[in-house]
Every structure is written in C-alpha cells, then in structure tokens.
C-alpha cells in the first residue's frame, strides 16, 4: 500500500520541478529601494536591481495608475538602476519597477513615498475669541498652519513645554489644546510650535504668544461706614468692597432700595460714596451692589443712623487661668450703653494708656504688659505682677468728634499679688468672672488610675471565685480544706478591695472638689 502511494506522488513531484524550472527561466525578481518620506524640494533617489539577469536589462519606474516615470538600461548586468527626481507635491504616491531581460520580465515590490511640506505661517486661534473666560469655563486653543503636511504640535505655557504626563488638566487633540475647566492658574501666555520630521531632520514653525485671561467671579460685597466732621455738620463715608473678583466691576450704593451713586472701578475691588448724616436721625438702610458682566450681588443692609455715645459705661474684669490653675492674664471689657462709633480710652489710676486708634489689636511698644483689642473696647493684661495693680476705668467719646463730651465708667480695682498669682482661681464676684473649666494632666492621670484599680480588683475577685468552685468538685475533704483556705483569702481580698475602693473614691471626691473650685 505504501509503495503504491509513493508511485502516485512521483508524477506530481516531477511536474512541480518542471514548473519551477520554467518559472526561473521566464520571470525576473527585481527589487526596488527608495525613501519613504522626503521634504518638498529635496532630491529623491530610487534604485532597482534584478540579480542574476543576463544583460542588457531594461528597468521601468512606474507610478500610481501605471504611469511610466523613467527608464534605465543596464548593459553590464547586476547593476543598480538609479532614478533621480526632485520631490514635488505631485510626486507623492506608490512606486514599483519592471525589469525586462532576454524575453523575461518581472515586477518589483511597491514602495510608498510621502512628500513632507515643512510648516510655515503658524498662528493660534481660540474658542471663545478673544481668549477671555471666567473660571470654570471651557477654552480651546488651535494651532493653525497655512502650509504643512505630516505635522506634529508642541504647546508652550509661560515658556514651559506642556506634556500630557506633566499637565493632566490639559487635553491634547490633534492641533488643539483643550482646557475643560479653567482656573486662575491657567491664565498666562500660550504659543504653539508646528513641526515635521524626516529621518532625524526637524523643521519648526512657531506662532506668536497669545494671552489667556481668566476672570474670577466676584464675591458678595461688604459695606462699612465711617463718619467725619465737616464744619458744623457730619458726613458719612460708605465703603463698598469685595474680597475677590476680576476688575473692572461696577459698585452702586442703594439707600432704601434707591440708587444714590454708582461708579465703575477699573483696577480695584473697592469704591467709596459720601452721604449726609445727622446725629440721632435715621437716614435709612444702605446696601452695596456689585455688577459684572455675568453677576449682580448685594451686600447685607447697614443702618445709616448715627447714634451718639451715651448711657451707662462700666468695666467688667475677667481673670484668665492657665491649664495648671495659675493666674495667666486679666481681661477688662468696657461695656457701652449706646453709641455707633465709640472711641475708648483706658486709664490706670489717673494715667491714660497711650492711644493708637488706627489699630484693632494693639501691643504697646513701650509698656508691653497689655493688649488692646475689639476696637479698644477690651484691655488684656498679659504681664501680671504687683506693678500693674491699681484702679482701671474706661472713658468713651464719639470717634468722629473726640473733642466732644466724654462718658466715663467707675474705677474697678485690679489687685495682683504674689499670693493671687500662686493660688487657685478666686471666687466669682460681680465684676470678676473666672475662666472656663481646666483639668490638669495630673488630675486626668489620678482619675484613670482610680478606674484601673477598681477594674483589677473586680477581675481578681472573679478569678478567685472560679478557682474556689472548681476545687469543691474534687472531693468533700479537699473541698472542705480548699473552702477553709480560700474563703479567708477571698474575704481578705474583698476587704482589701473595699479599702482600696474607699480610698479611690476618696481621691476622686477630693479631685471633684478641686474641679468645682476651679469652675
């Protein structure tokens, strides 16, 4: 059977060998080599060769659509057939060569040629245009080239190259740079570079810089009023301002919902308006309004009523203690019956503490033992020693007319002695208010230790009780002996535990008494 199969394959092998011989004698196998990419205007060289061909050999370079480009004849054999051309835009396409020799022909492989036009005249355009957007908006920058093919794009922001790995908030799509949600940090100068590359040769074209402006939404405006004397009358200076926003913005002043003034500020976020005021006369409710291209915001209302200083004036003293229950400072507050714009002066005995009305928090440079805060209404003694003891009082006048009448409080004694400095907080008096509760680290440790001892006693008692039960199960005699031994031990531990519990309770009660004194 095997011999029969072999005999059947012999004719097939013979025919195959004959076909190979006939093919080798009737066709050629030329090979075409050439560049894949060239710059426009450069020299292009294609080469075609059909080895082991009997000369003369004729080579035809053929382009797309079977168009004959050039012909070359090799009279020596096994010689390269060169085809030289100057790259033009029409030269781009696919090429192959056909070799003919001794009545035999062959067609080569196909080579695709790309003609690269270097970029030129590059500009950046934006959506929206001009590139002015509010924070949170979307902006698209496009790198447009008048001439150029096979291009790549590089973006530069504030003289630093942008890449997708280092700047994840930028999206690069073709020749576009997309910022989905703009922030103020995206404002600045942008330009692009369009470039092409053939082998290791790059050619660039850069655009001019484009300034991207990111506007910030304005915040809710604030309103304030200051009074100044003008001859025998008084005028109010109303200030409107926002803490954030992008100028220019428009500020308007409304009194009882009627606009009385408006101004557009090109470079700041504040505006001032002058209004007439009469003491003890309600001039209405004022509001500031801020307008931008996309916003309209209103401030809280403010009364234009000017109330002169008057009523009862008194000083309240509050002693401040450290976490270790030591006297640390004394705080004196000047309570004023009425007055819209009070100016407060402080006296120690009959000596006035130097005024600095332009500061809200004042640490005196020459006598650094006190701080003035809350527009001078609060005096804090930060250096406590017998030298600061004495009688303190406050005197109040209208800040817009310090030469007018004054209202004065009664003098309040502040006595700082060594005994007070080293003692617990004093009891509450009508003019002395202690600070809030402070628990020292030592007190916390004592409480924790009491709880720990109680827990350990309970656990120990439970363990001994279980041991006692187990020993009773063995024998009556052993149980009796164990009972006689264990019961006194249990009783003694219970007594000991009771004593420790009582002692711990006593310590905690004493501690609670200390805390109650501190309150």
Within-domain flag for 8: no
Q: Which residues have a Cβ under 8 Å from the Cβ of 62 and sit 6 or more positions away?
A: 68, 69, 95, 96, 97, 98
**Structural domain ending residue among the three candidates 183, 200, 215:** 215
Nearest residue to 315 (alpha-carbon basis) of 407, 192, 212, 223: 407
Statement to judge: residues 46 and 106 lie in one domain? yes
Please check whether residue 209 is in contact with residue 189, taking contact to mean a CB–CB distance below 8 angstroms. yes
Within-domain flag for 276: yes
Please check whether residue 498 is in contact with residue 473, taking contact to mean a CB–CB distance below 8 angstroms. no
Alpha-carbon torsion (250, 251, 256, 260), positive or negative: negative
CA angle 490, 495, 496 (to 5 degrees): 95
Q: Strand 201-206 relative to strand 160-162: parallel, antiparallel, unpaired?
A: unpaired
Q: Strand 285-291 relative to strand 270-277: parallel, antiparallel, unpaired?
A: unpaired
Phi-psi map region of 290: left, alpha, beta (phi>0 left; psi -120 to 50 alpha): beta
Statement to judge: residues 129 and 79 lie in one domain? no
Statement to judge: residues 249 and 158 lie in one domain? no
Nearest residue to 504 (alpha-carbon basis) of 448, 466, 436, 431: 448
Q: Which residue has the tokens 């426009």?
A: 40
Tell me the C-alpha to C-alpha distance, in Å, between residue 396 and each of 251, 296, 303, 374: 34, 40, 22, 14
Low-confidence ranges of the chain (pLDDT < 50): 1-24, 356-366, 426-444, 471-519
Cα separation, 297 vs 288, in Å, equals 8
Cα separation, 498 vs 491, in Å, equals 10
Within-domain flag for 446: yes
Within-domain flag for 17: no
Within-domain flag for 98: yes
Q: Strand 258-265 relative to strand 270-277: parallel, antiparallel, unpaired?
A: unpaired
Cα separation, 38 vs 77, in Å, equals 30
Within-domain flag for 18: no
Q: What is the pLDDT of residue 354?
A: 67
Statement to judge: residues 261 and 182 lie in one domain? no
Tell me the C-alpha to C-alpha distance, in Å, between residue 160 and each of 157, 192, 431: 5, 11, 66
Each residue's pLDDT tens digit, 262-283: 999 999 999 999 998 888 888 9
Within-domain flag for 15: no
Statement to judge: residues 110 and 124 lie in one domain? no
Q: How far is CA 250 from the centre of its chain?
A: 29
Statement to judge: residues 477 and 494 lie in one domain? yes
**Structural domain ending residue among the three candidates 80, 97, 116:** 116
Statement to judge: residues 112 and 124 lie in one domain? no
Cα separation, 236 vs 491, in Å, equals 86
Cα separation, 208 vs 190, in Å, equals 8
The strand pairing partners of 153, in sequence order, are 194
Q: How far is CA 273 from the centre of its chain?
A: 36
Statement to judge: residues 155 and 247 lie in one domain? no
Cα separation, 198 vs 269, in Å, equals 54
Tell me the C-alpha to C-alpha distance, in Å, between residue 61 and each of 47, 55, 71, 114: 9, 18, 6, 17
Statement to judge: residues 104 and 50 lie in one domain? yes
Cα separation, 283 vs 303, in Å, equals 8
Cα separation, 177 vs 156, in Å, equals 10
Tell me the C-alpha to C-alpha distance, in Å, between residue 352 and each of 249, 338, 391, 394: 45, 23, 12, 9
Statement to judge: residues 479 and 507 lie in one domain? yes
H or E element at residue 219: none
Cα separation, 204 vs 156, in Å, equals 14
Give the chain's radius of gyration (CA, Å): 49
Statement to judge: residues 253 and 321 lie in one domain? no
b/e burial code for range 446-459 (CB count within 10 A of at least 16 → b)? bbeebeebeeebee
DSSP state of 35: -
Cα separation, 338 vs 1, in Å, equals 129
Please check whether residue 426 is in contact with residue 319, taking contact to mean a CB–CB distance below 8 angstroms. yes
Strands (DSSP E) contained in 63-117 are: 68-74, 81-86, 93-101, 104-107, 111-116
**Structural domain ending residue among the three candidates 282, 303, 324:** 303
Please check whether residue 148 is in contact with residue 206, taking contact to mean a CB–CB distance below 8 angstroms. no
Q: Residue count of the chain, please give it.
A: 519
Tell me the CATH number at 268: 2.60.40.10
Statement to judge: residues 485 and 428 lie in one domain? no
Please check whether residue 325 is in contact with residue 298, taking contact to mean a CB–CB distance below 8 angstroms. no
Boundaries of domain holding 243: 222-303
Q: Is the pTM for the entire model greater than 0.85?
A: no
3-state class percentages of the chain: helix first, strand second, coil last, to nearest 5: 20, 45, 35
Cα separation, 467 vs 486, in Å, equals 9
Within-domain flag for 145: yes
Our count of domains for the chain comes to 5
């Amino acid at each position: 059977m095997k011999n029969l199969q072999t005999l059947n394959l012999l004719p097939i092998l013979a025919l195959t060998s004959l076909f190979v011989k006939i093919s080798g004698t009737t066709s050629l196998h030329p090979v075409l080599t050439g560049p894949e990419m060239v710059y426009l205007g450069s020299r292009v060289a294609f080469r075609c060769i059909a080895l082991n061909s009997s000369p003369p050999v004729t080579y035809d370079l053929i382009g797309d659509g079977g168009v004959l480009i050039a012909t070359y004849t090799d009279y020596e054999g096994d010689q390269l057939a060169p085809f030289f051309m100057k790259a033009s835009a029409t030269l781009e396409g696919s090429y192959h060569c056909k070799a003919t020799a001794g009545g035999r022909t062959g067609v080569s492989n196909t080579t695709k040629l790309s003609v690269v036009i270097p970029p030129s005249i590059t500009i950046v355009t934006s959506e929206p245009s001009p590139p002015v957007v509010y924070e949170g908006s979307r902006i698209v920058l496009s790198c447009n080239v008048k001439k150029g093919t096979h291009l790549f794009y590089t973006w530069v922001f504030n003289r630093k190259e942008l890449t997708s790995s280092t700047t994840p908030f930028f999206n690069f799509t073709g020749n576009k740079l997309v910022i989905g949600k703009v922030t103020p940090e995206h404002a600045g100068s942008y330009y692009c570079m369009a470039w092409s590359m053939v082998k290791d040769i790059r050619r660039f074209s850069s655009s001019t810089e484009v300034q991207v402006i990111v506007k910030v939404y304005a915040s809710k405006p604030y309103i304030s009023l200051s009074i100044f004397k003008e001859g025998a009358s008084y005028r109010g200076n109303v200030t409107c301002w926002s803490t954030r926003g992008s100028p220019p913005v428009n500020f308007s002043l409304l009194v009882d919902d009627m606009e009385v003034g408006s101004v557009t500020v090109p470079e700041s976020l504040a505006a001032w308006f002058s209004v007439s005021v009469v003491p003890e006369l309600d001039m209405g409710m004022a509001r500031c309004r801020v307008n931008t291209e996309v916003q309209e915001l209103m401030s809280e209302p403010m009364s234009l009523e000017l109330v002169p200083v008057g009523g009862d004036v008194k000083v309240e003293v509050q002693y401040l203690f450290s976490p270790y229950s030591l006297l640390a400072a004394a705080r004196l507050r000047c309570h004023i019956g009425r007055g819209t714009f009070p100016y407060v002066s402080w006296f120690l005995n009959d000596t006035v503490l130097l005024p600095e009305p332009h500061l809200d928090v004042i640490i005196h440079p020459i006598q650094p033992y006190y701080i003035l805060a809350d527009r001078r209404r609060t005096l804090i003694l930060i250096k406590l020693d017998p030298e600061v003891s004495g009688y303190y009082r406050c005197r109040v006048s209208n800040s817009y007319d310090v030469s007018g009448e004054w209202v004065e409080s009664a003098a309040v004694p502040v006595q700082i002695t060594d005994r007070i400095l080293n003692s617990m907080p004093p009891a509450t008096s009508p003019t002395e208010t202690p600070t809030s509760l402070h628990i020292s680290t030592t007190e916390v440790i004592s409480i924790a230790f009491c709880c720990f001892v109680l827990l350990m006693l309970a656990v120990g008692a439970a363990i001994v009780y279980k041991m006692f039960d187990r020993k009773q199960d063995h024998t009556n005699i052993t149980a009796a002996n164990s009972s006689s031994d264990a019961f006194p031990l249990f009783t003694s531990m219970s007594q000991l535990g009771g004593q420790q519990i009582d002692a711990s309770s006593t310590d905690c009660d004493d501690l609670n008494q200390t805390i109650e004194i501190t309150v």
